[in-house]
Each structure stands twice: as C-alpha cells, then as structure tokens.
Amino acid sequence: MRTPIFKGAAVALVTPMNADGSVNFAKLDELIEFQIQNGTDSIVACGTTGEASTLSHEEHLNVIRRTVEKVNGRVPVIAGTGSNSTETAIYLSKEAEKAGADALLLVTPYYNKATQKGLVEHFVKTAEAVKIPAILYNVPGRTGCNILPATVKEIARRAENVVAIKEASGNISQVAELASIMDDDFAIYSGNDDQIVPILSLGGLGVISVLSNVAPKETHDIVASYLDGDVKRSRDLQLKALDLIKNLFIEVNPIPVKTALNLMGMNAGPLRLPLTEMDGANAEKLKKSMVDYGLSVKYNQVIAGNDLTRD
C-alpha cells in the first residue's frame, strides 16, 4: 500500500542567487520559512524552477542538504534528482536520501529522450537504488519525452517506491486515462498551476507549483478547499489566479517567478545563463497581474531599462 507524500500544494522553490551568481543560502532559509509560515504542504528543492540544470552537483546537493536542515521535519522535502543520465540520477538520488530528503522528484530524460522501454528501465533502476519514495515528473514540453499511462503503470508495478507522478503534459485526456488505470494509492499531482482543479476532479491530490513561490497560502487553499468539498471556492480561487499564472509563464520558467519575488522585495537574485533577465514589456505585464491579484509590489527594480515601480 502506497502512502501519499503530501496532499495539497508543494512549492517548486526557486534557488536564490547572490549578485555574483553564487547560491544565496541565507536567502534560501528565508524563502523556506516564508513558505512554511504560509501553509505550503511540501517543499521541492532543485526542480526546474530551482535552476537545477545550471547547478553543479556540489551546489545541487548542498541546496538539498540546506533545505532539509532548515525545514527540520515540518513538511516533507522532495529533492529533484532526475537526469538524462541514469547513472547521474542514481548518484544524486542516493546522496539526497543520505541528506534526509523525504522523497525524490525524477524528471524524464531530456535531450537524449528515451523509448517507453527505456523510460521504464531508467526510472526503475533509479528508484531501486534508494529506499525513499519517488515521484515521476512528466513535462514533455521541456524534455521532448512523454511518459505514457501504460508506462507509468509498468514502472509502478516494478518499483513499489514510485508512489506518484507530477503530470505537466497539459493533456487532460492523458491524465484521465492515467487515473483510470492506476491503483487508488498512486498519487497524481498537477504540474501546471492552471490545471489544479481539473486534475483534482480526476482524483488528483494536489499540485507541485510555481505559483506557490509568490502565493503559497492561496495555492494551498485551492487544493484544501477542493479536498474539503468546497468545489466552488476552489474553482473561484483557481480562476482568480489565471491571469497571474499566465504571466508567470510569459517567459520560460523561472525567469518570471524570480522577477516576481524580486518585485515583492524578497531578493531572489539573478538567473544563471542561458536564462536572462525578463524583457521589460513582459515584466510590466507580470507586475500588473501581481497587483491585480493582490500581491504587494514594493521592490525598486529596473529590468531591460524599464522601471518596474511605475504605475
């Protein structure tokens, strides 16, 4: 019998940087505390939003270690340890387990992709290398690789510690098919903030969220309201957030969400190349959607020559 790692909203946490591009661990502590104090149900370290692809292995593991230490058991810590190299995914997963992570998030192999058979072998071998539970991460728009429902079922059959999937394909029909063939103890989490309620309606247990970086309580409430039976409130909260969600993805994630945190005065710092600072016109759209949503914009920041503090 599989046990869900969490129910609700997990934040795919940004990795804050100093001006010189190094990881800002003091700010990481602050962001973690902000999340926990505002009702986040779980914290994902070193996912896509955490710029894991440009962290060295040492930095990657140090962020996971620091997150585990700071969280101190208050909510589950999920460590992003996926890779397009099975050997690397196994290494990072073992080290995350040693660090005390509660679970792993394993993205599909990117660039080299894989056949469905290759996906089964990749995920099973990685999961078998550790004892902690693992969440599959399906995001074909970024990886060029889609985990089909039958493949998920085979992976879960062979690796009992694969307990869930983060579904970010955007294909609700595929999610419905997946829900129809998986056992009830296999958790489905939305990987898209604009599809939280639709996936909950198919039996999902929550979301692994970018929106939670700037609106942790509100994102938690979307899920909690639905699970408590207040579908109308959940739907209303989802719809209220749609414009902000759209603008959090107006450029490639995590460019907008880091910009948003900086606008809120939370000093998430710069991005690592090849990600660049946000285009000024897009940043203005993001700022407006933040204000309309009710977020406090208070940090004086200039992006692409535009003063974002102007009304």
Domain boundaries, the chain: 8-230, 241-311
Least confident of 92-96, 207-211, 296-300: 296-300
For residue 304, is pLDDT > 50? no
Residue 300 pLDDT grade (very low, low, confident, very high; cuts 50, 70, 90): low
Q: Residue 157 corresponds to which tokens in the numbers above?
A: 């059959």
Residue 265 pLDDT grade (very low, low, confident, very high; cuts 50, 70, 90): very high
- Active-site residue, selected from the candidate residues 27, 137, 287, 293: 137
Please answer whether residues 191 and 11 qualify as being in contact, where contact means their C-beta atoms are separated by less than 8 angstroms.
no
Output the pLDDT for position 301.
Answer: 52
For residue 309, is pLDDT > 50? no
Q: Please state the rounded mean pLDDT for residues 263-288.
A: 96
For residue 306, is pLDDT > 90? no
Residue 50 pLDDT grade (very low, low, confident, very high; cuts 50, 70, 90): very high
Residue 298 pLDDT grade (very low, low, confident, very high; cuts 50, 70, 90): confident
For residue 20, is pLDDT > 70? yes
For residue 145, is pLDDT > 80? yes
- Active-site residue, selected from the candidate residues 27, 166, 258, 287: 166
pLDDT (tens digit per residue) in 196-252: 999 999 999 999 999 999 999 999 999 999 999 999 999 999 999 999 999 999 999
Residue 302 pLDDT grade (very low, low, confident, very high; cuts 50, 70, 90): very low
Residue 1 pLDDT grade (very low, low, confident, very high; cuts 50, 70, 90): confident
Q: Please state the rounded mean pLDDT for residues 76-104.
A: 98
Annotation marks residue 137 as catalytic: yes
Output the pLDDT for position 311.
Answer: 38
Please answer whether residues 203 and 177 qualify as being in contact, where contact means their C-beta atoms are separated by less than 8 angstroms.
no
- Tell which CATH architecture fits domain 8-230: Alpha-Beta Barrel (3.20)
Output the pLDDT for position 299.
Answer: 59
Q: Please say whether the dihedral angle defined by the alpha carbons of residues 35, 191, 272 and 241, taken in this order, is positive or negative.
A: negative
Output the pLDDT for position 173.
Answer: 98
Residue 199 CB neighbour total at 10 angstroms? 24
